[in-house]
Each structure stands twice: as structure tokens, then as C-alpha cells.
Amino acid sequence: MSNKTIIIAEDDESIRLVTSRYLQDLGYEVTLASNLKELWKLIESNKGDVLITDVMLPDGELFDILPQMDAVSLHCPKNEETTNMFSENEFKIMKESAFLINCARGGIVNEVALLDALKSNKIRAAGLDVYDDEPSTSSNPLFSLDNILLSPHIAGVTQEATIRMSKQAVQNVLDVFDDKVDPEVIINKNVL
């Protein structure tokens, strides 16, 4: 990716600045966008060669931007809206040189469609840390491909993530004792 301009669109300013500094230190020209309006302006002006975005795109706009993406890295929750978010139609419109990375949840990327996209060179390569069936087995046909990097659902297992998760778990327990429970962190809301 040498001599590439990277567009970073991220709602969180601190993430935007840290990522920008890291990429600049690696020699990339970096352009920042703090909201969707700025992001579209940069894309329309062909300002960047590579786009990194965490800005939530309104319905249908992912499909509009996908043909311009060099790499897509997924880090979203799995829900009705994101299940099979990447399937046959999305792979058809992606660049043949594009990469897809899924560190979110199994089922966001349709594995059958991904297998076809990789075998037929509709996209260049993929990286998966999550699978439809976990733990996945060696019988998964994706495991036989040369253009895929696989890890056993451990991408988020860093020292920093472990510390953050531990602190959040303790805070959640304290919130229960203080009657300040955040309903968003409750799985079985019917017991509240």
C-alpha cells in the first residue's frame, strides 16, 4: 500500500487521531473525516486510495460505497440487520483486488458466498476470526483455500482488551448493587 492516501472516517476523535498518527508514522498520507458528510465529500473527490471507516452508513449506502473499497473490516454486533450483511450481491460488486476481514461474529459474512467469491476470484482474499459454527472444524471448505487467513476467534484477546473487559465486568456488578443497571448490557431483560 505504499504511496496510498488513506481516508479515516471514525466517530471517536481519539481513535481517529491515534490511527492517523500510526499510519502517518508508517509513511502514509492520511485524510480525516469526522462525519458521513465529510466522508462522502472525500470519496466523491477521489481524495483517498484506501478508506477506513467506522461511521455508521444509512441503509443502502454500504452498497453504494462497496465498489470503491480496497478492504472491508467488520467489527459490528450480529443482529437482524447485520446477519448475512456480506453475501453474493456484495461480493459481486466488490473490487477483485479487495480484502474482507471479519472479526465481528459468524453469520455476518455468508460463508457459502465467501467461499464462492474466493474460489472465483471475485475478491482477492479474506481474513476470518469468527465462523458460522464455532469451534469450526477442518471440514470447513474455507480452510482449504490459499487466499484466506484464519484465526480461532482470538483477535480480540489482547492484554488491553482483557483489562478493559475485566474493568467493565466489575463496573457492571457495582452498577447492579447501586441500582444503576444499563439495560443495554442485560441479555435476559425479562428478569429485571
Q: What residues act catalytically?
A: 105, 134, 153
Instruction: For residue 5, give the C-alpha cell.
Output: 492516501
Q: Using CA atoms, how far apart are residues 191 and 81, in angstroms rounded to an integer?
A: 26
Q: How many CB atoms lie within 10 A of CB 25?
A: 8
Q: Using CA atoms, how far apart are residues 78 and 105, in angstroms rounded to an integer?
A: 6
Pick from 121, 137, 88, 84: which is nearest to 106 by CA? 84
Residue 143 DSSP code: G
What dihedral angle (degrees, nearest 10) is formed by the CA atoms of 56, 85, 30, 34?
Answer: 0
3 state SS for 31-49 = EEECCHHHHHHHHHCCCCC
